[in-house]
Chains A and B, each alone.
Chain A
Amino acid sequence: MTINEIQDQIIEEFAQFGDWMERYEYLIDLGRSLPPFDERHKTPEYLIEGCQSKVWLFPSFENGIITFSAESDALITRGIVALLVRVFSGRTPAEIVDANIYFIEKIGLRENLSPTRSNGLLAMMKQMRLYALAYKSKQEHS
């Protein structure tokens, strides 16, 4: 599936929920189901510090594919982290760099990516792109 197909899939999943409570309950479930994060990577190097919640993001790059694992100390943030990992992990650097992310807005979670929220999510998205850019230039120069 392409990045956009996954985004559309997520939008469809969220469309079944009647109210905000159900959406957040689903996010909490997603947060709980996020695969465990390797404790050895819980270092300042991989920490994206927000004022409200913290996010850790660890990238690996193999055979032209970037895999992300991530973690947050807040469960709802972790649910959104899970969605971002689902969209961005297992992609080529070019796919990530060129991606246009619209699903967050469509599922009514835009406030969570506001720069004033400072929960680490916006910085996490930027960081994912930065990693992708770095791997992309590495590919081009190797």
Chain B
Amino acid sequence: MKLAKSIEEIRSDFPILSTKAHGKPLIYLDNGATTQKPLQVINMMEELYRTANANVHRGVHYLSDLVSDRYEAARETVRAFINARSREEIIFTAGTTASINAVAFSFGERFVGEGDEIVISGMEHHANIVPWQMLCERKKAKLKIIPFSDEGVLDLEAYRNLLSERTRIVAVTHVSNVLGTINPVKEIVAEAHRHGIPVLIDGAQGIQHGLVDVTDLDCDFYVFSGHKVYGPNGIGVLYGKADLLNELPPYQGGGDMVANVTFEKTTYSVLPFKFEAGTTNFTGAIGLAAALDYLSTLGREAVAEREQALLATATAGLSAIEGLRIYGTAPHKVSVISFLPGVIHQYDAGMILDKMGIAVRTGTHCAQPLMERFGISGNIRASIAFYNTEAEIEALVRGVRKVTEMFA
């Protein structure tokens, strides 16, 4: 598969990539934390504020109709991108964290009680741990953890054994933000469904790397953030199967989510509006749709292929450095590579790389239980996007080599 544009054209779509950091050309390898935005998104956001700003679903006037139509068109773009069955299954939220909290609350209120169990994995981001812990605390339920191997592969046998008649929901990440592992979520969903248990997939690190087909996965919820898929901040998606969403109580009350309000009783609106209380981030949603369109135009398979090629270069280059350990060597990985060069502290390495203009993430990456599993206080993560170049990856490898010399 070939990208629809040359790498030079792609890079000129992302003006921030020509930034100088400490006087050196910026090498941005922190795409797992947030991705950069193409002009197609930036210009769209600006154009919206210039020409199409009014509250959605409120007015009968020209501007409100205009922007409401575009907001609903954005919903359709998201639906098509993840292949959901219907538009009403796409709920706009503030991001992955907000989506998971919404499910933990609404689903928890409806289905979780004392002694029930919730299954998550040991490689979750804090966003897919803490909301469930809070639910467990509220309902006196128990959290069960799927273990994983040193390579970063989930133990599916242990998973099967964890499922019980008390399991109410399984919440697992599509892709580990630290290890890069692409989890066998289709299999995980199928296994849970054999017991009638619904599954939430945290797609924060999955959506940007290739194809997500929620109908094929058959997951009950799929959540992701706009800013990690080249879209704006503060917008995210909660996909949920309509039947299940219809059964859940809303998690926020306010305008636009109601059918009829009296002081005695309020009835709620239909999907998706039932879960979109208040003025939504409609500019964000339209910007997100622009980002998804951008990826679709480039070619999603080609994007994934290019990232795999860059990952292979990074893995080969870093592996050749003596004493360097890579965390996450699963056979199916996205372009995320976490490592520690010998006994050098991640913060030391990160600071030196920064001075070379190389942006990586250091620390626990919001996955402290995972770090504990490996017995480390953190590591360095390079997360690669399709707009990165082979030359940048080589500069990273050289930079890490230099770090090992400095701290030798």
Contact = CB atoms under 8 A, between A and B. Distances in A.
A74 B346 CA distance: 8
B348 A54 contact: no
A134 B352 CA distance: 37
Given A20-B22, A76-B351, A28 B345 contact: no
Interface string B339-361: 00000111110111001000000
A53 interface: yes
A23 B291 CA distance: 42
B6 interface: no
B111 interface: no
Given A74-B347, A75-B348, A24 B377 contact: no
A75 B345 contact: yes
Contacts of B363: 51-52
A21 B402 CA distance: 11
Interface in A11-29: 20-21, 24-25, 28
A77 to B, nearest CB: 7
A73 interface: yes
Contacts of B377: 54, 73
B352 A53 contact: no
Contacts of A28: 348, 406-407
A25 B362 CA distance: 20
B22 A76 contact: no
A119 interface: yes
Contacts, number: 41
Nearest to A76: B348
A53 B406 contact: no
A24 B377 CA distance: 22
A46 B69 CA distance: 59
A22 to B, nearest CB: 11
B22 A25 contact: no
A52 B407 contact: no
Interface in B375-408: 377-378, 406-407
Contacts of A73: 345, 377
Q: How extensive is the interface on chain A, given as a class?
A: 10 to 19
A24 B407 contact: no
Given A25-B406, A28-B407, A52 B347 contact: yes
Contacts of B406: 21, 24-25, 28
Contact of B407 (A21, A75, A77, A119): A75
Contact of A53 (B344, B347, B355, B407): B347
Contacts of B345: 53, 73-75, 77
A134 to B, nearest CB: 29
Contacts of A54: 377
B84 to A, nearest CB: 37
B351 A21 contact: no
Contacts of A20: 22, 355
Contacts of A51: 363-364
Contacts of A25: 406
Contacts of B362: 52
Contacts of B352: 24, 76
Contacts of B355: 20-21, 24
Interface in A66-96: 73-77
A74 B378 CA distance: 11
Contacts of B347: 52-53, 74, 76-77, 119
B117 to A, nearest CB: 31
Contacts of A24: 351-352, 355, 406
A52 B345 CA distance: 10
Nearest to A31: B348
Contacts of B378: 52
Nearest to A50: B347
Contacts of A76: 347-348, 351-352
Interface string B309-353: 000000000000000000000000000000000001111101110
Nearest to B362: A52
B31 to A, nearest CB: 20
Interface in A87-122: 119
Contacts of A21: 355, 406
Most chain A beta carbons < 10 A, residue from B345, B346, B352, B407: B345
A51 B126 CA distance: 14
Given A52-B363, A74-B346, A77-B347, 16 more contacts: A21-B406, A24-B352, A24-B355, A28-B406, A51-B364, A52-B346, A52-B347, A53-B345, A53-B347, A54-B377, A73-B345, A73-B377, A74-B347, A74-B348, A75-B348, A76-B351
30 contacts: A20-B355, A21-B355, A21-B406, A24-B355, A24-B406, A25-B406, A28-B348, A28-B406, A28-B407, A51-B363, A51-B364, A52-B346, A52-B347, A52-B350, A52-B362, A52-B363, A52-B378, A54-B377, A73-B345, A74-B346, A74-B347, A74-B348, A75-B345, A76-B347, A76-B348, A76-B351, A76-B352, A77-B347, A77-B348, A119-B347
* CB-CB nearest 7 A-B residue pairs: A74-B345, A74-B347, A53-B347, A52-B347, A76-B348, A74-B348, A75-B348
